[in-house]
Amino acid sequence: MAFSFRGGIHPDYQKERTAASVIVSNLPQPETVVIPLSQHIGVPCQPLVKVGDRVVEGQKIGDCQEGLCAPIHASIPGIVKAIEPRWNVSGIKVLSVVIENDGTNGQIEIEPYTGEVTDVTPDQIIALAREAGIVGMGGAAFPLHAKLRTAIDRKVTSVIINGCECEPFITADHRAMVEYPRFIVTGAELIRHCLGVDDVVICVEDNKPDALATLRATADGTGITVLELPTKYPQGGEKQLIRAVTGREVPPGKLPMDIGCAVFNVDTCASLYRAIYRAQPLIKRVVTVSGSAVANPANLLARIGTSYRELFRHCGGFTEEPYKIVTGGPMMGTAQHSLDIPVVKNTSSLLAFAPRGGEEAFPDGDTCIRCGRCVSVCPMRLQPTKIYENAVLDRFSECAALNVQDCIECGCCAYVCPAKLYLVQAMRMAKSQISREGAKK
């Protein structure tokens, strides 16, 4: 039985632009890739190569011996042209390895595992997940090996595989579920075996009936449940998903593992499958390229380090000059200042919006009219209006008392606010200020 979560919204999903677009997996290799050495939560990698080195596809080019880290691999064969700070998706410069393609098609050669899921040990799964550089691909980019280890230590009993993909426009996970369900289901079996749990549920919203049908057919006989959930944003939020599947709430300030749950994205499962059964590190991912300014929206299998410019070019470029480029979805994504930013492990989408067509920029913020809409849609049961009032006056301890740290930055409050207040920006500011003050103490 599926439960629901309180709040949420029903935005115009616009997924029909790419929902039926088969993943384009034969893009020509880029001439150059820019691969940031920090693509995960944790310690940035140190380069393992130097300028002038020749690398092959899949070769490890960055790692770190201490701290939370996921290795980085070359996504094309070629020559290391530079190791220098380059702009990343967050608008900061991070140390990156620039590789120029030498057209040689060289690949790393490792024998893949060929045995049964139940014959590989949890330690081997964790080691292979680390070696392949797998991170959470649904957005958080938390290193998978560390999450698996923590889940074992915390004795997690319930695993949820997240195939909701509730952000408008994005269909990358949707197409992955339709086109390679076996990778996802086997990846889920590997996680189940690694954690020693019985209870594994793959969740898909009911606006993806083809994905539900394919996954159900594939999972038949495995003991894995495929659960249909009602379409509602942000159904794919971890805490909302746990509520929908188990009926349990993650208390304020707590994490899913505190109540025995762990959530993994469907494409993370597919990457784990590839790491073990294909010996492939994480060097490619599916990216939805869409939005009202894109000539031919599509789902592209892109190499890590490919520039946004190149992916838009594969989609026929722009029909008109976009006023806004966003990566990661219109609700929770990040606006971009340049097309020369590279795809990284958690880049699920690239969106370009035309100046008209329902995606205009918000007018400047006005005054709260106390309508209460933000409170009624907040899936975390916060009081956005009160937090906003305190945040703009720098009263961050009041924001903390109102549990602003639980804000998942879903944007529901801003979406419904008739005054168009910058509610999410206020939440982010308060959260980062509180974190900074906590770190100082």
Beta carbon nearer to ligand SF4, 230 or 372: 372
Beta carbon nearer to ligand SF4, 197 or 412: 412
Beta carbon nearer to ligand SF4, 91 or 372: 372
Beta carbon nearer to ligand SF4, 185 or 250: 250
Beta carbon nearer to ligand SF4, 106 or 365: 365
The minimum distance between CB 440 and ligand SF4, in angstroms, equals: 24
The minimum distance between CB 175 and ligand SF4, in angstroms, equals: 27
What does the binding site for ligand SF4 look like in residue numbers (CB under 6 A)? 368-374, 378-380, 382, 384-385, 388, 407-413, 416-419, 421, 423-424, 427
Beta carbon nearer to ligand SF4, 181 or 237: 237
The minimum distance between CB 332 and ligand SF4, in angstroms, equals: 9
Rg (CA), the chain: 21
CA dihedral for 116, 117, 120, 125, sign (positive or negative)? positive
| 5 backbone dihedrals φ, ψ, rounded to 5° | -115, 155
The minimum distance between CB 164 and ligand SF4, in angstroms, equals: 16
Question: What gap in Å lies between CA 35 and CA 60, rounded to an integer?
Answer: 12
The minimum distance between CB 36 and ligand SF4, in angstroms, equals: 27
The minimum distance between CB 249 and ligand SF4, in angstroms, equals: 14
